Amino acid sequence: MSRVYLGLGTNVGDRLKYLNDAIKHIEQFENTEIVKISNVYETRPWGYTNQNDFLNLCVSIETNLKPQELLQKCLEVEINLKRERIIRWGPRTIDIDILVYDDIICNGEKLTLPHPRIQERAFVLIPLIDLKEDLTIKGRLLKDWLSELDAEEVKEYIGNE
C-alpha cells in the first residue's frame, strides 16, 4: 500500500457538505482506506482573491491505486460534485489535490509530485501538520516552510454553515 496525502478545498454553497461528500467518495475508492482526517480550516482565498473564503482540510489514505489512477478518481469526484473550471484559481464546489504520494518525485503533464505549491500555502501546510508533523517537503519540515508564511488567514473552523 502507498501512503498518500490529499488536500481538499471548497468555497461555494454548503462547504462542509462538499467536504463530507468528497470524503465519502474517497472512502469508496477501491483498495483505499482513509487513515486520518485533519481539522477543518476556514481560509482566505489564495491566488484569485475576489471570492468567498474556503474551507480546507487534508486527508491521509493508504491505497493501491497508482498515482494516475488516483488522479483520475479524484477528478471524477470533482465532476460528481459539480465542480466547473471557469476561472483559474476561482470559486469551486470542491478541489482535490494529490499533495504527496509516498516519496515519489515526478513532473508530469497532468501530475507533479509533491504538489508544487504546498510550501507556498498555509491552508495546505496547517492541515498537513495535523496529519503528520514530521513530514518533509523538499527536505524541510512543514513547520519550517510555514514559518515563512502568514498563517493568520487560516482559522480552525468550528461554526455551522
**Site residues for ligand GSY, window 122-141 (CB under 6 A)?**
123
What is the end-to-end Cα distance of the chain in Å, rounded? 36
CB of 49 to ligand GSY, least distance (A): 9
Q: Is 81 within 8 Å of 90 (Cβ atoms)?
A: no
Q: Which residues are catalytic?
A: 83, 92, 95, 97
Residue 9 near ligand GSY by CB under 6 A: yes
Binds ligand GSY (CB under 6 A): choice among 40, 45, 118, 119: 45
Instruction: Please list every residue from 70 through 99 that binds ligand GSY, using CB under 6 A.
Output: 89, 95, 97
Region of 23-31, 41-49, 57-65, 99-107 interacting with ligand GSY (CB under 6 A) = 41-49
CB-count burial class (<10 Å; 0-12, 13-18, 19+) for 153:
middle
When the beta carbons of 62 and 161 are compared against ligand GSY, the nearer one is 161
Q: Which of 78, 75, 76 is nearest to 18 (CA)?
A: 78
- Residue 114 near residue 99 (C-beta atoms within 8 A): yes
User: Interface with ligand GSY by CB under 6 A: which residues?
Assistant: 9, 43-47, 54, 56, 89, 95, 97, 123
